[in-house]
Amino acid sequence: MPSAAAKPPLTILLASPRGFCAGVDRAIQIVERVLLKFGPPVYVRHEIVHNRFVVENLEAKGAIFVEELDQVPDGRPVVFSAHGVPKAVPAEAARRHMIHVDATCPLVSKVHRETERHHAAGRTVILIGHSGHPEVVGTMGQLPPGAVILVETVEQAERLEIADADSLSFVTQTTLSVDDTAQIVAVLQRRFPHLNGPKREDICYATTNRQAAVKAIATDCDGLIVIGAPNSSNSMRLVEVARAYGCPKATLVQRAADMDWRWLDGVWRLGITAGASAPELLVEELLAACRARYAVTIEEVRVTDENTVFRLPRALVA
């Protein structure tokens, strides 16, 4: 570790907004409230949000994370993750008379309702998203098998064949790249002029804002670090956005302990942001690790303020 006098200079451009969004904050609070109300153990189907630090903190309080309901013993409560679940999951929970609490982000629930409305109107539904992501699995699971067509890329949009092109709609995963999604939508609208879309775009405010903040600093950075998990869609999109907007040296780090400090060789202006499921504590941890090695100057670059708050389920409000 260099002495104070020997520390090389490092300017950190701190992107804002960053870190927790309202849906993530609500989901974590729901697990904590269920633990208080029913006592441990409380089961959670899938990671409540995609961040190991968050998951491990909740495990320490008595949460047990499982993949399916058959791993939950009778008589214990279960929480559904922020990403949403197929309709079959709450139906099975109800059949078993389980205490179940839905922590699905309200903005994901909005996409679920849109999907149902389009289907009820007799339209074929296209979902723009990433195959296998739990949010996509949950959204497709709102309708019968085969009723939703998944499109992941511009190339797939160009090749898509629809029997009734005049009765067609689209929805999107909430954590996609704003730019990539716009390109896919443009192709679909060109090929299918009668395409119905959401009244307000499905990509959530937090995803949009965090990508905008990265765009604002990318050209001014020699390197950019996104704090987040590799299975976090919104975090991975931030790395892609940084590279696309002028900072090719961009990487994902889960927390300061995972840093390879040689990666910062040649970096004098470092951008730092955090995905929507990464707590600010992990940002502070990385800043402290940087200060231990560099003479740090911090410049916060804020593109907008966020004040969105989602209410907790009524059953959990004292």
What dotted CATH number matches 113-202? 3.40.1010.20
Residues in CB range of 307: below 8 A, 6 or more apart: none
Active site residue 306: no
Predicted local distance difference test score (pLDDT) of residue 149:
97
Please report the sign of the dihedral spanned by the C-alpha atoms of residue 200, residue 170, residue 180, residue 183: negative
Burial call 94-125: b when 16+ CB within 10 Å, e when fewer: eeeebbbbbbbbebbebbbebbeebbeeebbb
Question: How many other C-beta atoms lie within 10 A of the C-beta of residue 285?
Answer: 16
Q: How many CA within 13 A on the CB side of residue 263?
A: 16
Which of 114, 135, 161, 280 is the catalytic position? 135
- How many Å apart are CA 43 and CA 68, to the nearest integer? 10
| CATH for 22-102 (3.40.50.11270, 3.40.50.300, 3.40.50.9100, 3.30.1390.10) | 3.40.50.11270
Tokens 């993750």 — which residue? 81
In this prediction, the residues of the chain whose per-residue pLDDT falls under 50 are none
Extract the tokens encoding 182.
Answer: 């716009």
CB 231 within 8 A of CB 205: no
What dotted CATH number matches 4-20+205-302? 3.40.1010.20
Tokens 């047990």 — which residue? 64
Q: Of 56, 54, 112, which Cα lies nearest the Cα of 85?
A: 112
pLDDT tens sequence across 300-317: 999 999 999 999 998 898
SS3 content of the chain, % helix, strand, coil (to 5): 40, 20, 40
Whether residue 17 is preceded by a cis peptide bond, meaning omega within 30 degrees of 0, is: yes
Q: Of 162, 212, 211, which Cα lies nearest the Cα of 188?
A: 162
- Outline which parts of the chain fall under CATH 3.40.1010.20: 4-20+205-302, 113-202
- Outline which parts of the chain fall under CATH 3.40.50.11270: 22-102
- How many Å apart are CA 85 and CA 46, to the nearest integer? 10
Share of the chain above pLDDT 70, in %: 98
